[in-house]
Structure 1
């Protein structure tokens, strides 16, 4: 899959410990959703048009769980939170 072939024109970029985070907003209109990551991640103005496309591209998707401004790395705690707040798997 070429990860940026289908990316909308409405996106935000962030840096998390040296990793580029691309947040595709699509047609999102809700301001709370649009600014969700702003208080957790360092905002950048990265131009993603030069990111190489092709089968070598890799997408990593992670559930990001914060308590206060602290990132919770324990996947089991994240999973339990998601189940409790969002329903069954």
Structure 2
């Protein structure tokens, strides 16, 4: 998985319970979109260039579930939503 070969040069990083969240901004210009996670997660200045590239990298991907402006922390509720509304986990 060469995940960070394809990231744009513009990204933000956050910490959530010790987990690094990388938010790839791409060409986004809308500040509401760019700053969306700022009020939910602790902002960090992590340099992701030192994360190994290639198949040796292990990435855990988690869906982030929001209802209105509330972040739903319960993974069971997130899993149920993903299964019912998105056709999978």
State the TM-score, normalized to the length of structure 1. 0.77
What stretches of structure 2 of length at least 5 have no aligned partner? none
List, as ranges, runs of 4+ consecutive aligned residues in structure 1 with deviation greater than 4 Å.
Answer: none
Once the two structures are superposed, what CA deviation does each residue of 1:1-22 show, in whole Å capped at 9, x if it has no partner? 2211111110000011111111
- Within a 5 Å distance, the mapping from 1:1-89 to structure 2 comes to 1-67=1-67, 68-74=70-76, 75-76=79-80, 78-79=81-82, 83=85, 89=87
CA distance in structure 1 between the aligned counterparts of 2:60 and 2:26, rounded to whole angstroms: 19
State the TM-score, normalized to the length of structure 2. 0.77
What RMSD over aligned residues (CA atoms) do the two structures have, in Å?
Answer: 2.1
Question: Secondary structure of the equivalent of 2:3?
Answer: coil
Question: Secondary structure of the equivalent of 1:4?
Answer: helix
State the number of aligned residues.
83
